[in-house]
Amino acid sequence: MKNIWVQSLIITGFVFFLMWGASKISDIKLFSAFDVIGTALKDFELTDYAFSKLRRDPDVDQRIVLVNIGNLSRREIAQQIRIISQYKPKVIGLDILFDCEGNLRDSINCPALLDTLGNLMLSQAIQDAKNVVLAEKLLQTDSLSKFDSDVSDSIEHSDPMYLINTKEGFVNLPTDATYQEDVKICRTIWPTYMVKGKRELSFSTQIAKRYDSMKVIKYLQRNKDEEIINFRGNIEVQQLRVKSLKNSETGSSNFKTMFYAVDVGQLERGEVLGEIFKDNIIIMGFMGAYLGDPSWNDKDFTPLNKKVSGRANPDMFGVVLHANVVAMILNEDYINQFPDWLLYVIAFVTCVLTVALLIIIDNKLPMWFDALSFFVQVILLLVFSSLIISAFVQKSLKLDLSLTLAASALVGPGYDIFKSVQNEIERRLTKWKT
């Protein structure tokens, strides 16, 4: 029996060596041009299926209202803020930077400067509201970007005239995209970020803090560098008739949406009852030229995408993504994870026990080894895949058992290869001794 466990540990080490070698080959992308299936599934996670297909849809969060600014001018955005402010919202978040890109402050490169009165109107509307959270953007200086570093050492702010009586939060998301035009898949958020020794709060964290500071304290006490977003839902692509919702002509369950959304022009036309803003969180930002616009601008792929693999179109505007994070904080509805060391232990122990079982099968039922070893691998993959989905759906626990699944898939071939090499070595040694 002792020999079985020693051999199991040796073969387990060999399996992990194979996984290490496979990971190095995949890093080189040696076969990426021919791997159509791999390309389609490279951004897929089992939990994505649970997000989009299995989790129960929560109720609409009536504390958060989204307002589409479309392509409005600063003067028109100021008018929107003034209308909303009349109804005393708890906080107004503006997911937009009011500055000139590249600091080119001339009317050719920055046409918004032409409307001097409109800029003053926007600045005054923000000041008068006294509860506005503005967006800021984490950047890298040229000297740091040369080192291909993920660290940000500078911040892009709105012009100073807009910062009076406001708070700021960064809108950057950990999407693994190098450029703005790249495909961006968002699953996590940075709650905070250190820039030159100062802790900056994310846009969603800052908004939630203005609404309920105690919930944010608990959120930050989780001490997560990156927090998995517990997505609650999206907005419907059609325009929402907020008056109908308030007059109970139709229930909220008939809408495939988690947040009420107000489209461009609806405020000015009086199509929205102001009571939906009172004491609530209002997040204003770009959601297309109109609700339902298929624009890809400021839009990310998320686990809620209807296509869980081979995604073709991004599904969530940044404004809605921030709303999901705010809702997660206020509901204290977080997704937890096992520490990395425990995941390694699970993978290692699973591999050792599986190898031990294969050794027993090989010794006791050698004629049935191929069939039974394949059956064992299939059972392991099904069990662990089901466990990942079940833990996520029922306990909001993300089990990253990718290493365990990889070990389960390779343990059979790894055992065969090791046994073949071992038998060949023993044959040569026997021949050499004789």
Query: Where are the domains positioned within the chain?
Result: 2-42+337-433, 58-333
- Using DSSP's 3-state secondary structure scheme, residue 225 falls into coil
Q: Where are the beta strands (DSSP E) in 140-238?
A: 154-156, 166-170, 188-189, 192-195, 198-201, 227-228
Q: Is the pLDDT of residue 427 over 60?
A: yes
- Residue with more model confidence, 182 or 130: 130
Distance CA 231, CA 304 (A): 7
User: Does the predicted TM-score (pTM) go above 0.85?
Assistant: no
Mean pLDDT value across the chain: 82
Reported confidence tier of residue 254, pLDDT bands at 50, 70, 90: very low
pLDDT at 417: 86
Reported confidence tier of residue 144, pLDDT bands at 50, 70, 90: low
Beta partners for 227? 189
Q: Is the pLDDT of residue 244 over 50?
A: no
Largest CA distance in the chain: 100
Top mean pLDDT of 70-84, 357-371, 402-416 is at 70-84
pLDDT at 131: 94
- Residue partners of 101: CB distance under 8 A and separation at least 6: 109, 110
Half-sphere exposure of 285 (CA within 13 A, CB side): 27
Distance CA 395, CA 391 (A): 5
Reported confidence tier of residue 265, pLDDT bands at 50, 70, 90: confident
Distance CA 48, CA 54 (A): 10
Place of tokens 């609650």: 232
At 389-421, the pLDDT tens digits run: 888 888 888 888 888 988 888 888 888 888 888
Mean pLDDT in residue range 271-295: 90
Percent of the chain with pLDDT over 90: 41
Q: Is the pLDDT of residue 334 over 90?
A: yes
Mean pLDDT in residue range 130-139: 94
pLDDT at 52: 65
Q: Which amino acid does the sequence have at 144?
A: L
End-to-end C-alpha distance for the chain, whole angstroms: 30
At 190-239, the pLDDT tens digits run: 999 999 889 999 999 999 999 999 999 999 999 999 999 998 888 854 44
pLDDT at 225: 92
Q: Where are the beta strands (DSSP E) in 225-356?
A: 227-228, 260-262, 281-285, 299-300, 316-317, 336-337
Reported confidence tier of residue 301, pLDDT bands at 50, 70, 90: confident
- Residue partners of 155: CB distance under 8 A and separation at least 6: 136, 137, 138, 139, 170, 195, 200
pLDDT at 251: 35
pLDDT at 102: 67
- Residue with more model confidence, 249 or 318: 318
- Residue with more model confidence, 184 or 337: 337
At 10-50, the pLDDT tens digits run: 889 988 888 887 776 655 444 444 343 344 444 557 777 67
